[in-house]
Amino acid sequence: MATKTANRIAVTGNAGVAQAMRQIRPDVVAAYPITPQSDVVEEFSTFVAEGTVPTEFLPVESEHSALSACVGASAAGARVMTATSSQGLAYMWEVLYIAAGNRCPIVMINVNRALSAPINIHCDHSDSMGTLHSGWIQLYCKNAQEGYDSTIMAVRIAEHPDIQLPVMVCYDGFIVSHGITSLEMVDDEEVASFIGTRKPPYSLLDAEHPISMGNLAFTDYYMEVKRQQAEAMRHAPRVIQEVQEEFGKLTGRHYGMFETYRLDDADFVLVALNSTASTSEIVVDELRGKGVKAGILRPRVMRPFPWQEIAQALSRASAVAVLDRAQSPGGNGGPLAIEVRSALYELERRPRMINGIYGLGGRDILMSDIRSVYDRLQKLAEGRGPSEFEFYLGVRGD
């Protein structure tokens, strides 16, 4: 057990999330180990072995089977969780769509890791970015505390009667998953009453009200089902915010659809996900000390993407740099840049925008890298310096 004082513990990001899973007490967990996710499941399986949780734990033979088992159990009415990374998420690919299409409120932890090739175990966001269109709600977390908190909130969001969609909770592999930090825990009983029990509107095991799931729907009904899925996603911002508000009242930790740092009067804004946004705060403080109006916007919910609010929040800035820890080779920037740039389209006065690709395969992002991005933004606003949209940060031979 982790070192503990009152309700603060010293744990790795993964161990913190495993604690959240212990408190959630899911009915079924099916998972397959993969670095850097492994110790989430390893720790959790210890709780199962000790009898701390009543969970049916299925150590399956692959991620494809893991998520398939989750879909079955969720359709039967169980509260279901799984965890993966990188190739594991890629291997779940076809089942991701099945989980969303069958409206299974599964909660998945995805510890962000680069995809092969070359083989790499370190952090980038290419794994979950590739699944943006799969119909899952996606939450991105900057640190272990947010990972823990979001895991608990995800259960409520997924199972809400207006939503019934799977939720993916993402945080940075190794950087957050394996670093040890201080985590403030919610009491076991408080978590239990916050999440309540799952009340599925339909269940395969409800013999009184028989249903079938995973049916054929061709040209006749497929599109109606998909339209309803989109409708559920449309309700998600309201539900996410309600759940986050309630969680904030319980814990004092408040979350939004996105987080801003010194953004209100900022001229130069960096948009980045996860731990990099946190690291960038130090640089912003430094620049503010020198009179440079720097700020940060960190999207927390990538699906549903709060594009109108983000566009509004960026409307005042003179120049915006979106940092992507993933590529979309041949696309109009990285995945996050594509989202942000499209959001800005509706604005009457748009800020200048550039897109930095950084940190692929775990390449460390240094303060000096972040400083260089703000430097680029200032030059861009003054109409000098490089004007290309996409650039690479911290790479050789550029």
Partner 1 sequence: MLEIRWHGRGGQGAVTAAKMLAAAALRQGKQFQAFPEYGPERRGAPVQVFTRISDEPVRTFSYITEPNMIVILDPNLIGKVPVTDGLTEDGVVVANFKGTPDELRKTMGIKGRKLYTVDATGVAMRTMGRAITNTPMLGAVVRASGAVTLDQALEEVRHVFEDRFGPKVAEANVEAVKVAYEETQGE
In the complex, the residues that contact partner 1 under the rule CB under 8 A are 1-5, 8-10, 121-122, 143, 172, 174-176, 178-182, 275-276, 278-279, 281-282, 362, 364-367
Helices 335-344 and 307-314, axial angle in degrees (round to 10): 70
Residue whose CB is less far from partner 1, 248 or 361: 361
**Least distance to partner 1 from the beta carbon of 372, Å?**
14
How does strand 390-392 pair with strand 352-357? parallel
Report d(CA 331, CA 338) in Å as an integer: 8
**Least distance to partner 1 from the beta carbon of 172, Å?**
7
Report d(CA 209, CA 212) in Å as an integer: 10
Residue whose CB is less far from partner 1, 223 or 366: 366
Residue whose CB is less far from partner 1, 87 or 229: 87
Residue whose CB is less far from partner 1, 69 or 360: 360
**Least distance to partner 1 from the beta carbon of 251, Å?**
15
**Least distance to partner 1 from the beta carbon of 51, Å?**
19
Residue 4: beta bridge partners? 9
Omega before residue 114 within 30° of 0, cis:
no
Cα 262 versus chain centre, distance: 23
Side chain identity at residue 241, one-letter code: Q
Maximal C-alpha separation, the chain: 71
**Least distance to partner 1 from the beta carbon of 143, Å?**
8
Q: Which of 333, 257, 323 is nearest to 296 (CA)?
A: 323
Helix spans in 181-273 (H): 188-195, 222-251
Residue whose CB is less far from partner 1, 389 or 392: 392
**Least distance to partner 1 from the beta carbon of 198, Å?**
34
Residue whose CB is less far from partner 1, 178 or 341: 178
